[in-house]
Amino acid sequence: MQAVTAFDAIAFDLDGTLVDSAPDISNALNTALREAGLRSFDLQTVRAWIGDGPDVLIGHALAAQGHEHASAELRSQLRAAFDAVTLAAPLDHGAVFEGIEPVLMQLTRVMPLVVVTNKPTRLARAVLAAARLLPHVCSVHGADTAEQRKPSPLLLQAAAERLGLRTNQMLMVGDGPADVRAARAAGCGAAVVDWGYAHAAVDSSDAPLWRVRTPQHLLGSVLLDTATKRH
């Protein structure tokens, strides 16, 4: 990871960054598909679709079985079933990535933390609560409309405004291209975690990008930067 520039808050992506929720997302999607009489998919396939929220996820699953032009009624039915399964069992199959919780506990002592995710807010809060991470974040900003989904900068802008900060005072930590593009659109710093689902797809050739090997790697850089600013 490159030397961290000054920032005063961190925005974390959720799925693939804080939690390995792919098994739960796969379970919710496949349950919804089976209830509708449609084909389900293996975990590896579903994991590759994660990152743009449940509506896009459902769209991938429909397209993969020749239903690109499925009705709005079917899509709504699938989304309702997906949400119900997620709320009933937010993190029964997945887990918090190793090292995340103690790092968040230490980071909250030096700066506010928020979650900025393409998962809708209600579902995101349920997952964070099940993961016992909700007490460590000040706010949760989920994509409740298509316009808010990363790479749009809207959620990062809302998070910064709520904290009383400029966006360039925030660092966005995520695991995929949408996180990086959202950060750049908002004027935030960008970091990509190496343990995420889509980190290999991120192109870092055209702008500075921090690569985070482990949660402790991120923590060490933040604490070093904080100590430097104090002197």
Give the C-alpha separation, 137 to 105, whole Å: 10
The conformation of residue 60, written as its DSSP 8-state character, comes to: H
Contacts by 36-43, CB closer than 8 A, 24 or more apart: 36/74, 36/77, 36/78, 36/81, 38/62, 38/65, 38/67, 39/65
Q: One of 8, 13, 24, 179 is an active-site residue; which one? A: 13
Active site annotation includes 13: yes
Token pair 């920032």 is found at 7
Separation CA 111–CA 7 (nearest Å): 9
For Cα atoms 159, 95, 193, give the angle at the middle one, nearest 5 degrees.
55
- Structure token pair of residue 220: 């060490």
Which residues are marked as active site? 13
